[in-house]
Structure 1
Amino acid sequence: MLASSQNSLRFGWLEQLFSSAANSDTQENITEGINLELAIKLIQSVNPGVSSGKVEHRFKELQRVRERMCELTVDNGSGHEDHSENKKLTARNERVTKQEFIEVFHDFCTRPEIYFLLVQFSSNKEFLDTKDLMRFIEAEQGMAQETSLKLIQAHEPSQEGRQQGYLSLDGFTSYLTSAECHLFDPEHGIVCQDMTQPLSHYYINSSHNTYLIEDQFRGPSDISGYIRALKMGCRCVELDVWDGADEEPLVCTGHSLSPPLLLRCVLEAIGRFAFVASEYPLILCIENHCSPGQQKVMWQHLVKILGESLYTVPPDEGASYLPSPHALRRQILLKGKKLVPSSDGEDGAVSEEDEGAEMCQKIKSINSGGTAPGGSEKDMVQKSVITQSNPSNVSPKRFQLLKELSDLVTLCQSVRFIDFSTSSKSQKPWELCSFHESLAVRLISESPGDFVNHNKHFLSRVYPSPMRIDSSNMNPQDLWKCGCQIVSMNFQTAGLMMDLNTAWFRQNGNCGYVLRPAIMRQEVSYFSADTRDTVPGVSPQLLHVKVRRNLVISGQNLPKPKGSGAKGDVVDPYVYVEIHGIPADCTERRTRTVNQNGDNPIFDESFEFQINLPELAMVRFVVLDDDFIADEFIGQYTIPLECLQPGYRHVPLQSLTGEDLPHAKLFVHVNSWYILNI
């Protein structure tokens, strides 16, 4: 291998690195090498993902060879062993020679796929000069020419390489594993979209029953649910408010076993964390189940705790759209019921929110250990879906609403959905319909174009089915594809659906607002949410993900799945590449399995996908451990198509719960281009 020759930049740099370590070693006999622990740390400084145990084991293997050779040398030929020399051997075994250090460094710090890539672009030299590097970053990485020398100065470890303008294998590896070669485009790490369009033109990161941190029935309630969601960029949280003892309203799911929270404490937490992650407006979805007396207390808490952050300006009666997120910065909007204007200015009766009543019915059924009124739980759910599908056939419960509380609701007034025709004739831009998940899915199937057009003007909120007692999540893309802005997610439940939600809102600086595709905003356009073909007026995009030997390629430091034990530390990884989006785009492909290699498995695949609506597509990489009984999850990474950086990129893997897996990555080559419709 060129990079291991004694004339290479690597060899000279490693000699200097070893000498420097030896000179700093305070122990005696430094001519015999450096301390074993120090040698391991030097290896890990270049490859932090490698375990110290594996490095130590490799050093010990080489030392056993050295020991055996020394034993043969010190044998005096009489069959008697020289014990004084044996003691010296034991002492030397705790030290590493220069030759051993360089050999182990080659073993653990040479990525063959990167080495072959360097050779390809350097015309078989053992380094990239400025012209080679310029050609690579321009042709593959899509970067400007003048950055090549800067990259060398930033990543080349050897002084000789920096002086001559050469990037060695280790410098090239440093560059390709740096933040500059992350798959996620850093331009999307800050707010990069137009934030001056109407509120209805954005997807809004939304939480369901934010106070629950486990399931919907028996799980605990905690203020930490609000704090976590707000820190994650959530811009719509939910409060179910009920009468409590001592005239203090409570936040809880009615008639469940989950302990309640004081409304006052919840509002104090919201006030502290409302704009920590984002300055754009926060929507509080309030389901009011309180008596008039405790509504008065609720109003007092809202005004006192949230103060000037509460947006109470009445809507402009002549407006065709809501204000923009930019115009509503650092404002808190209340979503709730609103009294019909009257001349007497008194309290009045309004219909109760359907979601709260429906959830109560479901939980009462489970609490009693019996069935829902009038039949089985299945019958109850079917009846619930029919009710949602035909709301005009049912008379909802009514309750007295305090006028002062009604006056706090301005831009997000809850109204009942009848049908799209009624909405187009009478609904105001500041009126918002909430849709049961089942109803929304039915409307997507029956009237996909009408649903998209409805959402061009009005906000729509979709909440999970009450059958999701385990706090499972619906697929948000099923609702985003018809333009629904507020898809309420159970933030406490990890998995594919929350991966999609988290990744989606990362594309605009994680501010909680993402501009919807142009075809869903333009007045004169038609888009059907269930399209299974190309989208009129939108150029499809070809996405090419290569995972090929000598091109791309590999995984690094893939951990053993949590809880598995049958195969020890050995993993047999393979990768799924999934596309999530409109039905025409949803697909997946998988690589072959690489047996017993989690350190640096080399895959040999190349995938090509046609994306018909790029603005709504996401790519998900999932790494699994191939097992005889059941394949186990190792890690994943999900990213909007719009955020992909082209070229050779590293993909940081995340756990089931969304935390980064230390040093675990995939190495991929991404290329994409638009298909021109001529």
Structure 2
Amino acid sequence: MRTFTSNSLFEISLEEESEKVPRTAHIRFLRCKDLPQMDSNGKADPYIVCYGKVGKTRFDRFQSPVIPETLNPDWTDGYSDEDMTAQIKLQTGCSIVIEVWDEDIGFLSRTLERDDFVGKVVISDEDLKKNINQFDTDAIEDTNLNFVDSISMSNTRISDSNKGKRVISYTKSIHKRTNTGPARGTIEFELYIFSEAVQQGANDMFTKIVGKDKGSLSGGIPLKHLQEKLQKIGILLDEAQVEKEFAVIDDGDKTLQEKELREFLKRINVRDVIRDVFKEYMSEEKYMKPDDFLNFWEKFQFEEMLEEDRRSLFKRYGVHSHGKNEILCFDGFQKIMLSRSNAIEKPRAMKLPLSLDSPFSHYQINASHNTYLEGRQALTYASTSGYSSALELGCRCLELDVWDGSSEPVIKHGNMSASCTLRSVCKVILEYAFTPDKPRYPVILSLEIHCKKKGKDAMAKIFAKVFQKHLVTREEMYRNPNSMTPSHWMDRILLKAKDKDDSELAKLITIPAVKFVNWGYHKSQSTPNQCTSFDESRAATLCTNSYPEFTGFNSRQLSRIYPSATRVDSSNFNPVGYWAAGCSLVALNFQTRDDFMLLNHGNFTRHQGCGYILKPDYKLNGDDTTLKKVAQQNYELETQVLDGWNIKSPNLDFTRETCISVSIFSPFLPVQTKITQKSGSQTNPVFNETFKFEVMNIEDSFILFKAFNGENLHSYFSFPISQLRQGYRTVHLRCPKTNKHMLSNLFVKFSVREKKDVLQALQTLEQDNFQLRLRVTELEQRLAQLEARLGPQ
């Protein structure tokens, strides 16, 4: 049973929950009209790109699907909200940029960054500040927007007061820079702004609605304004639910005064399933005493709690005095259960590692395959945005396929694709690799070099000029025998490639690529910075047939696993088996948001997303006995999905039913998936469904929760099962696009038990029974002997 000190249990929650609640802009793109002719057939192949921008830094890039051969693309026909909604986390000085592009991937295609550009709309930081609560059409029209091209805007506000939605739609004209400045079409989209708080209590919601000045409540809040105010703070309730609760609270004047508003917020914030838990363990007097709470935490949360931690929780989440004793009422109990202090992830897994002083080969490292691609593997184009997106998602190993260009080296996927320059890619990597808001751990660039000598020399010059002090040289790497650790190269970039010559480029290669020879050779010759690459099929064979040898190999040097060439659709393989074998660089297609990419995101959200995870000791010290034992252990996992909170799409479509899927991923075993019944269209669905799974090798297995609105994936959570906490826990859901927390969660009950314990108990019982029968037989024999001696009585 784990014992937590106050720091280990609450450090994360106190830091996170004290921060100012950030906001996210959701932009749902609908259609474009009357775009210019971009292709020889008189049509265009348009798509939309949207991103946030602070200074020169771009982030949260979104790209829509392409609709071919049209000047009037309509994305409302056949595309989901997920496909067409950008999510931009608003920052100080942030503007939102919306661009329209024409895709051209033919053999005579022009450079993507200039000729295929159609137009741009920019919503400035000042616009967002002035209109954070409700955009003012006139203010936007009159503002001198910071457009790169000459773009005029005409806005039409479309509101639906009958449904109470805060939906503001815009139709904006796009102009390209010409002498006469003719209109070049329009783009139509909807904009919403939401809070990203994990869970708000009634008092928190009151403060956010009213602000510091309670005088703003004079006259009360009428029903028609109440839902707008709820949506502003990120609470999505359907009109019927708001009307029902309003009618219960209202004293007849059709408005809510301060006391009524507080009661209203308290009612909508209640989670009935949590109240049921509270009732089960509270005292007879409808509250929890300290002993009640400590008993609950130990027996049903499977953790001991120190008295100082208990006091800290009671003080933070609402203590009521009862004579001389402290008590916890339901409101405080619910806040505790929904806080980060009660998150399903173990707190230790979410902290930064104490150090990264072990060799590179002792870590799993977040890695990308063909990072420059944004779609399929064939007949596609290279883009710098793939690198910015991957780095924003925590990737620390990027791939560059470098070819000779007309004037300097370029990045592309063979001869059948359009390219971008190596120089532009390097600039983007440097811009996004070491941002102040993220841990600044080393970035590895995996190079596939197709250049001749002149091109290689040009590569070396570009790397040195762009990366400058951030670039690690071979001489630096080998100067210090203790330098082959991540902590030694913070804020630095390392190049991985073959280094067989003495060229200027070879002098910059610090992670040499080597071919696999045999286990004996690598056992004596490997170094922690060497890397051998295997495609997924070859690596799967090694995992299956030579698991101990392959795991030992991966502890001594790096291995990179990449998708098979048959995955032309950029689908991903299941990474779990390769992580289990200790492979350090399991490279996935970051542009594909499938279940396996969600597993990767969940795995590397550990340690604040630094991109490095230390492997367990038994995979590093050659302990084959423990390795086999762990792989063969059998567990029973039970997950009870109790309810959900705020599981609705940003467009406030309350007609879609909600369901939750729970999946278990174990190394090289079929995926197990179970799905709740659909809950109807309520925002806060109650499920109360229990799922049981048998899990082999639980140390290397993962769980994946997915929340669906109708057919659309709304949010998800994935994590290693070994790093989850048992008991009643809150699962804080993430956005599948950005991997950021949403104002959505699940309340679950989670337990794990080793089935081996039951088998051992049965075996022990059988042995005891056998010994008892032997003893009875022995006593019967002695009794017969005694009777024979005594003779008949």
Give the alignment's TM-score, normalised by structure 2.
0.61
Does the CA contact (< 8 Å) of 2:663 and 2:704 recur in 1? yes
Q: How many Å separate the matches in 1 of 2:647 and 2:457?
A: 56
User: Kindly tell me: are residues 24 and 185 of structure 1, through their superposed partners in 2, closer, same or farther at Cα, counting changes over 3 Å?
Assistant: same
User: Kindly tell me: are residues 12 and 304 of structure 1, through their superposed partners in 2, closer, same or farther at Cα, counting changes over 3 Å?
Assistant: closer
Could you tell me which runs of 5 or more consecutive residues in structure 1 were left unpaired when the two chains were aligned: 1-9, 68-91, 340-347, 349-401, 529-534
Deviation at 1:255, TM superposition (A): 0.8
Residue matched to 1:453: 552
* In the alignment, structure 1 residue 409 sits paired with structure 2 residue 509: yes
Does the CA contact (< 8 Å) of 1:21 and 1:34 recur in 2? no
* In the alignment, structure 1 residue 640 sits paired with structure 2 residue 716: no
Residue matched to 1:80: none
User: Kindly tell me: are residues 162 and 502 of structure 1, through their superposed partners in 2, closer, same or farther at Cα, counting changes over 3 Å?
Assistant: farther
* In the alignment, structure 1 residue 470 sits paired with structure 2 residue 569: yes
Q: How many Å separate the matches in 1 of 2:466 and 2:577?
A: 37
Specify which structure has the bigger relative contact order, considering alpha-carbon pairs within 8 angstroms and separated by 6 or more residues: 1
Could you tell me which runs of 5 or more consecutive residues in structure 2 were left unpaired when the two chains were aligned: 1-200, 761-793
Deviation at 1:275, TM superposition (A): 3.0
Deviation at 1:59, TM superposition (A): 5.5
Does the CA contact (< 8 Å) of 2:637 and 2:695 recur in 1? no
Residue matched to 1:127: 287
Deviation at 1:34, TM superposition (A): 5.7
User: Kindly tell me: are residues 572 and 36 of structure 1, through their superposed partners in 2, closer, same or farther at Cα, counting changes over 3 Å?
Assistant: closer
Match of 2:424 among 265, 269, 276: 265
1:175 alignment partner AA: I
Does the CA contact (< 8 Å) of 1:161 and 1:167 recur in 2? no
Residue matched to 1:146: 308
2:239 alignment partner AA: G
2:604 alignment partner AA: F
Q: After alignment, is 114-123 or 437-446 more displaced? A: 437-446
Does the CA contact (< 8 Å) of 1:591 and 1:604 recur in 2? no
* In the alignment, structure 1 residue 117 sits paired with structure 2 residue 277: yes
Q: Secondary structure at the match of 1:407?
A: helix
User: Kindly tell me: are residues 415 and 227 of structure 1, through their superposed partners in 2, closer, same or farther at Cα, counting changes over 3 Å?
Assistant: same
Superposed, 1:383-422 pairs within 5 Å as 403-410=503-510, 412-420=511-519
Deviation at 1:40, TM superposition (A): 5.6
* In the alignment, structure 1 residue 227 sits paired with structure 2 residue 307: no
User: Kindly tell me: are residues 537 and 486 of structure 1, through their superposed partners in 2, closer, same or farther at Cα, counting changes over 3 Å?
Assistant: closer
Residue matched to 1:7: none
Deviation at 1:609, TM superposition (A): 4.7
* In the alignment, structure 1 residue 581 sits paired with structure 2 residue 666: yes
Does the CA contact (< 8 Å) of 1:335 and 1:413 recur in 2? yes
User: Kindly tell me: are residues 236 and 36 of structure 1, through their superposed partners in 2, closer, same or farther at Cα, counting changes over 3 Å?
Assistant: same
Does the CA contact (< 8 Å) of 2:346 and 2:724 recur in 1? yes
Q: Secondary structure at the match of 2:531?
A: strand
C-alpha deviations, 1:127-185, integer Å up to 9, x for none?
Answer: 223333333334444333323343233223x9878997333222222222222222223
* In the alignment, structure 1 residue 496 sits paired with structure 2 residue 657: no
Q: How many Å separate the matches in 1 of 2:536 and 2:385?
A: 26
- Structure number with the higher strand fraction is 2
1:127 alignment partner AA: Y
Q: Secondary structure at the match of 1:484?
A: coil
Q: Secondary structure at the match of 1:215?
A: coil
* In the alignment, structure 1 residue 666 sits paired with structure 2 residue 746: yes
Deviation at 1:482, TM superposition (A): 2.3
Q: How many Å separate the matches in 1 of 2:515 and 2:659?
A: 48
Residue matched to 1:51: 237
Q: How many Å separate the matches in 2 of 1:238 and 1:12?
A: 49
Q: How many Å separate the matches in 2 of 1:487 and 1:674?
A: 29
Residue matched to 2:646: 557
Residue matched to 1:385: none
Q: Secondary structure at the match of 2:725?
A: coil
Does the CA contact (< 8 Å) of 1:161 and 1:168 recur in 2? no
Match of 1:617 among 679, 683, 701: 701
Q: Secondary structure at the match of 1:238?
A: strand
* In the alignment, structure 1 residue 505 sits paired with structure 2 residue 604: yes
Q: How many Å separate the matches in 1 of 2:750 and 2:258?
A: 40
User: Kindly tell me: are residues 329 and 58 of structure 1, through their superposed partners in 2, closer, same or farther at Cα, counting changes over 3 Å?
Assistant: same
Residue matched to 2:335: 174
Q: How many Å separate the matches in 2 of 1:676 and 1:308?
A: 55
Deviation at 1:599, TM superposition (A): 3.1
Q: Secondary structure at the match of 2:644?
A: strand
Deviation at 1:668, TM superposition (A): 0.9
Does the CA contact (< 8 Å) of 2:474 and 2:509 recur in 1? no
Q: How many Å separate the matches in 2 of 1:297 and 1:438?
A: 35
1:476 alignment partner AA: P
Deviation at 1:632, TM superposition (A): 5.2
C-alpha deviations, 1:609-641, integer Å up to 9, x for none?
Answer: 55553432222112346x7xxx65443210122
1:460 alignment partner AA: S
Q: Secondary structure at the match of 1:221?
A: coil
Deviation at 1:237, TM superposition (A): 0.9
Match of 1:596 among 676, 680, 687: 680
Superposed, 1:244-255 pairs within 5 Å as 244-246=405-407, 248-255=408-415
Q: How many Å separate the matches in 1 of 2:588 and 2:503?
A: 31
Q: Secondary structure at the match of 1:335?
A: strand
User: Kindly tell me: are residues 162 and 152 of structure 1, through their superposed partners in 2, closer, same or farther at Cα, counting changes over 3 Å?
Assistant: farther
Superposed, 1:336-415 pairs within 5 Å as 336-339=497-500, 403-410=503-510, 412-415=511-514
2:601 alignment partner AA: T
Q: How many Å separate the matches in 1 of 2:623 and 2:478?
A: 25
* In the alignment, structure 1 residue 651 sits paired with structure 2 residue 731: yes
Deviation at 1:52, TM superposition (A): 6.3
User: Kindly tell me: are residues 206 and 14 of structure 1, through their superposed partners in 2, closer, same or farther at Cα, counting changes over 3 Å?
Assistant: closer
Does the CA contact (< 8 Å) of 2:638 and 2:692 recur in 1? yes
Does the CA contact (< 8 Å) of 1:153 and 1:162 recur in 2? no
Q: How many Å separate the matches in 2 of 1:485 and 1:651?
A: 28
Q: How many Å separate the matches in 2 of 1:281 and 1:14?
A: 41
2:505 alignment partner AA: L
Deviation at 1:660, TM superposition (A): 4.9
Superposed, 1:141-220 pairs within 5 Å as 141=301, 142=303, 143-156=305-318, 165-192=326-353, 195-220=356-381
Residue matched to 1:368: none
**Aligned residues between the structures:** 553
C-alpha deviations, 1:536-590, integer Å up to 9, x for none?
Answer: 267948564442xxxx62122222699xx9xx73444443322223246x65353
Deviation at 1:25, TM superposition (A): 6.0
Does the CA contact (< 8 Å) of 2:245 and 2:267 recur in 1? no
Q: How many Å separate the matches in 2 of 1:117 and 1:558?
A: 22
- Could you tell me the percent identity over the aligned residues? 27
Q: How many Å separate the matches in 2 of 1:172 and 1:145?
A: 17
Q: Secondary structure at the match of 2:683?
A: coil
Q: How many Å separate the matches in 1 of 2:327 and 2:525?
A: 69
Q: Secondary structure at the match of 2:602?
A: helix
